Amino acid sequence: MSRLIAYRLALALPQLAAVSLVVFLLTYLIPGSPAAAILGERADPESIARLEAQLGLDRNPLVRLGEWFSGAAAGDLGTSISSALPVTDLLLTRLPATLSLAFGGMVVATAAGIGLGVLAGVRPGGPRDRIITAGTSVGLSVPEFWFGLILTLLFAVELRWVPVVGYVPLTTDPAAWARGLILPSIALGIGAAALIARQTRGAMAEALTSRYVDTLTAAGVPRRKIIGYAFKNAMVPVLATMGITFRILFATSLVVEVVFAFPGVGNLLLTSVIGKDFPVVQGGVLIVAALVIAVNLLIDVGYGLLNPRVRPQ
Amino acid sequence: MMEFPAARLVAALATALALTACSANDDQQTTPGSGATLRVNWGGFPESWAPGAEGEAGYTRVPYENLVEVVKGEVKPMLATSWEQTDTALTLKLREGVVFHDGTPFNAEAVKVNLETVRDAPGPYAGPLKVIKSIDATDDLTVTLNLTEPTPSMLTTLSTRATPMTSPKSIADKSIAQTPVGTGPWAYDAGSSTTGTRMTFTAFDRYWGTAPAFKTIALYAIPDDNQAVGALSSGEIDLSDVEPNAIDRLKGTPGMETLMYPAIRNNPMFFDRGPGGVFEDVNVRRAACYALDTATYVKVEPDMAVRSQHFAEGEPGYNPAVTGYTHDLARAKSLAGGKQISFEVLAAPFTQKQNEVYASQLSALGWDVKVQVAPPPQWAATWNSGKYPYGLGANDELTPFDWYQAWFAADAPGNPSGTESPALKAAADAAIQAGATPEANALWAEVTKVIADEALTCAHIAGQETLAWNSAKVTGVAAPANAWEPNLVNYRDLKPAGA
């Protein structure tokens, strides 16, 4: 297992470097100068040129890329063009909100997805299975932002059980943190939950038709215990799905952050892309990529724990 | 009956969420906002609070104040109590006994640091301050701005959000970017704030003026309009800027009131006016003006209002004789004389619809107008560069001098053709020479008339800002006195309901 972790960690570095390079190149392809964006719509060409020089935007892109890589290796992601603040500080301030939301979304996706999938899979074709399968179709087809708005109207505006907006850091007030996470987490996790539920349902139904299940049943093993054995086997393909699902979930969280006014990396990235704040965009994408790689690593480790055959020999 | 522990887990989670949710309701009743706290949303915090950085006035005007304020076109004292302006200098006497929230005294040196910071910062507000050659702090309470040219609009500039007075100590240590320190009635309270979600400002006990009725102002940044309306309806916030279509949705919520006020104004500009240009002929420009039907456009954009000219009645530059180009297609066709014109216009996503409507209206003249859409940064850098013969953008200049200098003077950044008629130059020179004398207003009104007669621009429209508030929490809400500023309310006049 430690070899698997070491191998994946070694792969992470070139992956992050490749992501950074692509983002750097993409920011060059976007038309328009950041200096023009900062100076406003009536800036004259001389002012734009002066500011570009001041920001170092007139220098060789390769030199800038090299400087950025060496800075990033030392934990310095540069300085924000629009706020003149260190990008690392900006991102570290926003990271807890993003991690909270991703955590909440994963909890919802995992708990609801696996729970509902198992409930449907143990009695395939039954009324409960049909209801859950229909529900997952809705969950897969409803956009997260729309679902978020509906949840807000119902639980925040009408019932007033939870706040419309209200991210509070975990360290400040854990109860308020949890309250503020409820609606965004459900909105974020519902699509992923539907995907996981479908996969779990299929894997569970298949596992329960295996020959070892027939043997255990014939041996008089209680149904509850048999479902437990089948569940462990069913989780192997489900974990693979969860890896993909969580990647999608991270991407979706950027939209959910905007809908729920979550002060996370996604919100920061959005304003930075619009304002052409290249250093923040590069740093933000690097952080998101690192998070996705970390989550995938955790899933690979879990996969290896559940299925010894996939562990590297 | 549940068959598997996972199902129990789901049930336990649901119960936990429900219990947490119930406690949310309890908490909401004690959330600040009742009593002396006002909770306000303007959609997004400034990325930086430093002077010279761009930020919505609804945020920056809570902790910050200016040297002067302009109310209905009249300059009034604020942190400066009196002033004297010549063609080469503006001397201001400062208010005594004013301190910044960090205890730093407000004095001539602080003014010098702030104005130099804005002037030299790479930001959108630096332009109007470039005429300040140097600043002399003559004594503690006297400051002189030495000007490179006559600038009758300088006092107005000093009233805008471009020139807030912030602590020179915070500017020096660069903490001002994230921690606003001004002289206003409310001081930033970092301990009660949540980064990115809520910024709390409490009454400053050493404030030089009248203590505000609200002891605390909590500012929020809810970018999604639906969520802002939801937060208003649920009582989480008391006041917010909303889209006009939210007015109907809020009607069902008890105590909810709304108002609209005019803010940013926009109008088409004919850039290609030079020799051989598409819009060199004044009759072609007039034809376009008569073909544009702003009355029809505002029917599909309820947050816009038609105006006859750039300045409103009561503002310097307003000319009652200017009535605008009321839509008249027959007259437009006659003026166009069957001339076939084809050109492209660059739109930003937020001006795309307006540009497309106008392009459709101009096509009634037989003209072929193609609308290209670009991301905001590209649009901002290109739309008025001269590459496109015609463009549509905001005109946020508060004074006729600034408006003329920005768009119509031969060397104006918004006049890429560099052409200016002798009539316009003569009218503008006369108005500039009049300086701050009482005659100046009439002379600037004449400049407005020349601009209209020459059809350098037309189809004036003002964006309407919509404010919604809970009258059970706050009273006295009105449009801000600060002219044309979007996302703002008259903070100092607000009172808790029942107070």
pLDDT of residue B326: 94
Instruction: Show Cβ contacts of residue A210 under 8 Å, excluding neighbours closer than 6 positions.
Output: A230, A233
| pLDDT top residue among B38 and B244 | B38
Mutate to test the interface with B, among A41, A159, A256 (most CBs of B within 10 A): A41
Using the Cα atoms of residue A301, residue A303, residue A305 and residue A308 in order, give the sign of their dihedral: negative
- d(CA B338, CA B364) in angstroms, rounded, equals 11
Rounded Cα–Cα distance for residues A131 and A284 (Å): 40
CA–CA distance from B37 to each of A152, B32, B212, B217, B218 (Å)?
A: 24, 6, 11, 6, 7
* Model confidence band, residue B483 (pLDDT cutoffs 50, 70, 90): low
> What pLDDT does residue B475 have?
95
Structure token digits, residue B173: 């240590």
Q: Do B377 and A80 touch (CB under 8 A)?
A: no
Given this structure, which CATH class describes domain B6-54+184-255+471-496? alpha beta
Residues B197, A34: C-beta atoms closer than 8 Å: no
Q: What's residue B146's pLDDT?
A: 97
Residue of B nearest to A29 (CA): B378
For B91: left if phi > 0, alpha if psi spans -120 to 50, otherwise beta; the answer is beta
In chain B, what are the domain boundaries?
6-54+184-255+471-496, 68-170, 262-462
Say yes or no to pLDDT of B402 above 90.
no
- Token pair belonging to B469: 């508030």
State in words which class domain B262-462 has. Answer: alpha beta
Q: Where are the alpha helices (DSSP H) in B167-293?
A: 168-172, 225-233, 246-250, 282-291
Q: What is the overall mean pLDDT for chain B?
A: 88
Kindly list the structural domains of chain A, giving each domain's residue range(s) and its CATH number in brackets, ordered by start.
Answer: 93-275 (1.10.3720.10)
> A166–B3: do the CB atoms touch at under 8 Å?
no
**CA angle, B114 as apex, B264 and B136 as ends, to 5°?**
120
Question: What is the average per-residue pLDDT within B230-246?
Answer: 91
- pLDDT beyond 70 at B271: yes
| Fold held by B68-170 | Dipeptide-binding Protein; domain 1 (3.90.76)
The tokens of A154 are what?
Answer: 């119902």
B222 and A CB contact within 8 Å: yes
**In angstroms, rounded to a whole number, what is the distance separating the alpha carbons of residues A7 and B281?**
72
CB A34 within 8 A of CB A54: no
Residues 57-96 of A with CB under 8 A from B: 80, 82-85, 93-94
Interchain pair A179, B21: CB under 8 A: yes
Which chain B residue's Cα is nearest to A123? Answer: B3
pLDDT of B35 above 80? no
Residue B174 has pLDDT above 70, yes or no: yes
Predicted local confidence at residue A310, as pLDDT: 64
Cα separation of A258 and A289, whole Å? Answer: 19
Measured CA distances, A101 to A6, A108, A186, B222, B401 (Å): 28, 11, 10, 17, 50
For B342, list phi and psi in degrees, rounded to 5: -135, 125
The pLDDT score that the predictor gives to residue B19 is 44
Averages of pLDDT over runs of 10 residues in chain A (313 residues) are 77 84 76 70 71 80 84 86 84 90 92 94 90 90 84 86 84 88 91 92 92 91 91 85 80 84 86 80 87 81 72 59
Whole-angstrom Cα distance, residue A115 to residue A135?
13
